[in-house]
């Protein structure tokens, strides 16, 4: 690539690694089916029934039977009920999900210690060098799928390739219980044929901007030059220029430090009064406090997210000099942020509070005495 009189070499692909992405199939819902076989073949939706919550709540996941009706994760429970009124709504047994996730993790550890969990139900594994001294990543992925099924009675899907980005795309290709292998010599063809909305990390708004530039597939993206993509999409443009060329050299990170703790609630009936909003903010702040306690964290930045009935979203953040962890403190700052960005007459569909800039609780605010109070200085 030439910029003025300077010439930059094209980025190079590292095809020496063997990466597996394992994704448990409809994990929470599948656990519920395992625990209650009567649910098999019926739509299962992990969310409290909207009749119990006044239309509040969000779908955590849904099994494949429910997905046939258009139900999906992050959808409001009320919408899910409208699409699938005969669905089995289950509020979720998260302690059980964590327990089973740990069992699955122990299976991974038979093959490698280089594991990067993304959530309870998915993880990257680097098996370039592995405990079984096996040369085939595909064979290892099949063994892991077999072990999970035999020991946990749940299915999983696997993607196998030479980097994380392609492995994750591949795991979503043949679900459920599928395995997709993308070797280096097939990767570029695979990526060029892919619809742009299938590129991991490209959201709805970015897809619209891509379409405005006549980018509908990986091939269209490949034809764009790097500087144009950077100018249009910033860091994402820089990243996508490389990823469509099969380049993602990010390592499988054994320890993923949590960067934020937050909670969001979606409302079937829009909030329209100050009292409703403040009541919900206090409730969410207390939930964030519980999550911070579980993770033994506190943070210095409070973020408020507001989504209106027309789906427009506003966010505002406040970085503080001292750490916060208490629900009332978090609520106090969220209330101040609400005063700055909140508009009641548009109807509130979603509220969320996140605490970022986290540190372990062992890190405390320390005020250093610059001089003794008793001196005259």
**Rg of the Cα trace of the chain?**
24
Note if 122 is an active site residue: yes
Helix residue spans in the chain (DSSP H): 27-35, 50-53, 64-67, 77-83, 94-108, 137-152, 164-171, 184-193, 204-212, 218-222, 226-233, 235-243, 274-295, 327-341
Residue 247 phi/psi, 5-degree rounding, is: -110, 120
Q: Which residues of the chain have pLDDT under 70?
A: 1-10, 255-258, 362-377
Domain 29-92 has CATH 1.10.10.60: no
- Whether 318 and 301 have beta carbons less than 8 Å apart is answered as yes
The CA-atom distances, in angstroms, between 336 and each of 195, 291, 330, 331, 349 are 42, 22, 10, 9, 19
DSSP code for 326:
-
Q: How far apart are CA 347 and CA 273, in angstroms?
A: 9
Instruction: Provide the pLDDT for residue 12.
Output: 83
Cα 183 off chain centre by: 26
Q: Are 150 and 142 in contact (CB under 8 A)?
A: no
What pLDDT is attached to residue 110?
Answer: 94
Q: Of these residues, 65, 116, 122, 329, which one is catalytic?
A: 122
Does the pTM of the predicted model rise above 0.95? Answer: no
Closest C-alpha to 87, from 99, 77, 75? 77
Would you state the pLDDT for residue 368?
Answer: 46
Report the candidate in 264, 285, 267 with the shortest Cα–Cα distance to residue 347. Answer: 267
- In the numeric block, the tokens 């409001």 are attached to 76
What are all long-range contacts of 240-243, with beta carbons under 8 Å and residues at least 24 apart? Answer: 240/199, 240/202, 242/11, 243/165, 243/191, 243/199
CATH architecture entry for 186-247: Orthogonal Bundle (1.10)
Domain boundaries defined on the chain: 29-92, 186-247, 260-360
Instruction: Report d(CA 8, CA 118) in Å as an integer.
Output: 34
Please give the C-alpha separations between residue 215 and each of 137, 192, 230, 232, 247, in angstroms, as whole numbers.
33, 11, 15, 12, 19
What CATH homologous superfamily does 260-360 map to? DNA polymerase, Y-family, little finger domain (3.30.1490.100)
Q: What pLDDT does residue 351 have?
A: 95
pLDDT at 322: 84
């Amino acid at each position: 690539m030439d910029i003025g009189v300077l010439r930059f070499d094209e980025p190079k692909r590292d095809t020496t690694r063997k990466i597996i992405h394992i994704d448990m199939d409809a994990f929470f819902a599948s656990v519920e089916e395992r625990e209650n076989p009567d649910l098999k073949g019926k739509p299962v939706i992990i969310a409290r029934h909207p009749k119990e919550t006044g239309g509040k709540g969000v779908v955590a996941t849904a099994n494949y039977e429910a997905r046939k009706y258009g139900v999906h994760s992050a959808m409001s429970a009320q919408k899910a009920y409208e699409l699938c009124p005969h669905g089995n709504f289950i509020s979720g047994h998260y302690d059980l999900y964590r327990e089973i996730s740990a069992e699955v993790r122990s299976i991974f550890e038979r093959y490698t210690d280089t594991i990067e969990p993304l959530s309870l139900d998915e993880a990257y594994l680097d098996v370039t060098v592995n405990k079984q001294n096996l040369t085939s990543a595909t064979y290892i992925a099949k063994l892991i799928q077999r072990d999970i099924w035999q020991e946990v009675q749940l299915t999983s899907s696997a993607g196998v390739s030479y980097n994380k980005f392609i492995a994750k795309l591949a795991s979503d290709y043949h679900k459920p219980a599928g395995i997709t292998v993308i070797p280096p010599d097939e990767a570029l063809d695979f990526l060029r044929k892919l619809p742009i909305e299938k590129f991991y990390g490209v959201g709805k708004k970015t897809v619209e901007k891509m379409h405005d530039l006549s980018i509908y597939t990986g091939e269209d993206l490949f034809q764009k030059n790097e500087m144009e993509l950077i100018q249009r999409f910033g860091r994402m443009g820089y990243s996508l220029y490389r990823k469509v060329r099969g380049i993602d050299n990010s390592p499988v990170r054994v320890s993923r430090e949590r960067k934020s703790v937050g909670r969001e609630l979606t409302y079937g009936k829009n909030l329209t009064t100050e009292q409703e909003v403040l009541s919900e903010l206090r409730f969410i702040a207390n939930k964030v406090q519980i999550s911070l306690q579980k993770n033994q964290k506190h943070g210095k930045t409070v973020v408020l997210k507001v989504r209106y009935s027309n789906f427009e979203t506003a966010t505002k953040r406040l970085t503080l000099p001292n750490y916060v962890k208490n629900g009332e403190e978090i609520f106090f700052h969220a209330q101040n942020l609400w005063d700055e960005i909140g508009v009641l007459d548009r109807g509130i569909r979603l509220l969320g509070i996140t605490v970022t800039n986290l540190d372990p609780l062992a890190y405390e605010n320390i005020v250093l005495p610059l001089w003794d109070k008793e001196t005259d200085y």
